[in-house]
Structure 1
């Protein structure tokens, strides 16, 4: 069953967790322009910025000097959208900027289409294997696509219970069906697992798997040089969307997201973080704790609202958490993230859920 691959779902939530004004994050390297230029981060490690025609207008991709099956070249982490503009930038990088040096391997941190949307094209164009975790590859193969038409009754019931009207649902689903960036899924891959060590050139990269934003998101960590290729697991100025969908309505992705984020806070303080969006930064521990604090603030908003009213639907609570929604897709993502917060608080025993005569779920403080 397909589920929406929401625009910028990989990075841009309706409300961002901003660093405090006195945030200690530091940005030691100026980013490259989004035109096929490369910036050297360390010996054998390059930064490319691939343009995207949306509000979050780029994705950071990284190139690692590699020797694979007897061939010297560059392994690539993440792809950009599967659109002609992306293809042209990658052809320019390998045809001009790198003067014809080959791509050796493609690594995708996770299934969202700004990270894996061009994976099939890159495999076919450059003749390279694709490395992903099992959960991400199967999501990309199986459920990343436009909403089913007609929408299954289980999906309709999910949104109705959340307090979504038929008109609001059609608006959200209709916007997703018009999404121009749905990817072509690749046909084969090489599996990465948590704890695996990838030898890429002169460096060893440990696979660190996070959950919540996507099912089995792979980060790459080089302990010798203190470098973390973080994907969407840790971004410097926004937080990744963590949402519940009709595919797993009782899931608690926020619980595992918070656990994954706190694991990154255990890395050495001087770790250089290479995120998928915005700037390369120092301050892994500080940023991880900022992200956790952001969600604690969201929990507090829910608690305060439910202290002032007997109960509320997920749609009503969404408006408490997200006050500047601009589009149907914003509403879809914000609602999913609101339910993620509610499911987390229910699992912790703080909230209870009941169904009214209209079959809309009502959330209230636990007695």
Structure 2
């Protein structure tokens, strides 16, 4: 059921079946033209919920533009399904390129090969090939492509001026939307409350975690009366939560650095298995494979942060990338 948060502003609850995130908050701003913010997976449950709630509000898709905060499938999956001729589908230029690349299987083969180098087996990757929602539940190709936005672009809907704030980290082109006049920040996956946003390694990005931490500082002092994250209903104080997230990653960095120092020569997969995670599994072996995929991606982002700052290094040994602290690595070559 749709929830009206303010005049002309609605939250649509889109269930993410079989996913630990549980739901997506899709937001609708109504007016002469509507703006729908994020869509859910390209799966039947998301379609039903989206259709029912748009019908409940009386939203006309023929005058509804779509704003995608970032490229992930739980945010973009229904964009092509919901798009109507003459309407825009907005996405940052950076994420638009990557989202379009993800429709090509060779991109996924390269990504999975890199995860094998970092400790997975091909058997695990082959199982994920047809079960990873990031790959399987994204949008169909969009005729004409996305309408690309840059940092600072301003959109006007329902009497609101919405400024795009580029917040790389969760994805390289993640965008928040800020309504300064009303003190509303659509933080999407940049700032969440019930969990910490997943920050993983991205191809061609030297330090995704460093980007994310800088992006937290970019938004934490904004005057915000209403903070609207993308998952669950939990919300709160922006500055306080930004500091909590920074402290969380500082702890995780210490954890990863200690593991590398104590056990030199581990793969990212093995390091991840020794790190501390908040998940309902008794041990690393019992982690669901999809969650292992995201956890290893996050561990690699933390290892990248450490490597950029000269604290660890890696080397390719017999087809696997293994990590060493700088002190332990001295003299190895």
| TM-score bracket, shorter-length normalisation | 0.7 to 0.9
Match of 1:53 in 2: 17
Q: How does 1:31-70 map to 2 (within 5 A)?
A: 37-55=1-19, 56-68=21-33
Shift of 1:216: 0.8
How far is the alpha carbon of 1:86 from its aligned partner? Answer: 2.9
Q: How does 1:315-354 map to 2 (within 5 A)?
A: 315-322=269-276, 324=281, 325=284, 326-354=287-315
Distance 2:117 2:221 in 1: 39
**What's the CA shift string for 1:195-226, capped at 9, x where partnerless?**
11211121111111111211211111011111
The alpha carbon displacement at 1:103 in A equals 4.1
Match of 2:197 in 1: 240
In structure 2, relative to structure 1, the CA distance for the partners of 1:66 and 1:302 (3 Å cut) is same
Aligned counterpart, 1:293: 247
Match of 2:206 in 1: 251
| Match among 35, 55, 67 for residue 75 of structure 1 | 35
CA distance in 1, matches of 2:138, 2:156: 32
Q: Is the 8 A contact 1:208 1:219 kept in 2?
A: yes
Equivalent residue for 2:222? 267
- What TM-score comes out, normalization by structure 2 length? 0.85
Aligned residues of 1:314 and 1:338 also touching (Cα < 8 A): yes
Q: Paired residues, what number?
A: 318
Structure 1 gap ranges (5+): 1-36, 69-73
Higher helix share: 2
- Residues 359 and 93 of structure 1: is their aligned pair in 2 closer, same or farther, counting only changes over 3 Å? closer
Equivalent position of 2:169 in the other structure: 212
The one of 286, 303, 327 aligned to 2:257: 303
Go from structure 1 to structure 2 and tell me whether the alpha carbon gap of 1:61 and 1:145 turns closer, same or farther (over 3 Å shift). Answer: farther
2:66 aligns with one of 80, 92, 106 = 106
Give yes or no for the alignment of 1:97 onto 2:61: no
Q: TM-score, normalised by structure 1?
A: 0.78
Match of 1:116 among 76, 100, 103: 76
Equivalence map 1:9-48=2 (5 Å): 37-48=1-12
1:231, distance to aligned residue in structure 2 (A): 1.0
Q: Which residue of 2 aligns with 1:16?
A: none
CA 1:145 to 1:176, structure 2 compared with 1: closer, same or farther past 3 Å? farther
1:291 Cα deviation after fit: 1.0
Relative to structure 1, is the Cα distance of residues 183 and 99 closer, same or farther in structure 2, using a 3 angstrom cutoff? closer
Q: CA deviation at 1:186?
A: 1.6
Does the 8 Å CA contact 2:313/2:324 hold for their aligned counterparts? yes
Corresponding residue number in structure 1 for 2:89: 130
Question: Does the Cα contact within 8 Å between 2:39 and 2:76 map onto a contact in 1?
Answer: yes
Asked if 2 retains the 8 angstrom alpha-carbon contact of 1:45 and 1:64, the reply is yes
Return closer, same or farther for 1:145/1:58 CA change in 2, 3 Å cut-off. farther
Contact map agreement 1:146 1:179 (CA 8 A) in 2 = no
Offset at residue 138 of structure 1 (A):
2.1
Partner of 1:360: 320
Cα RMSD after superposing both structures? 2.7
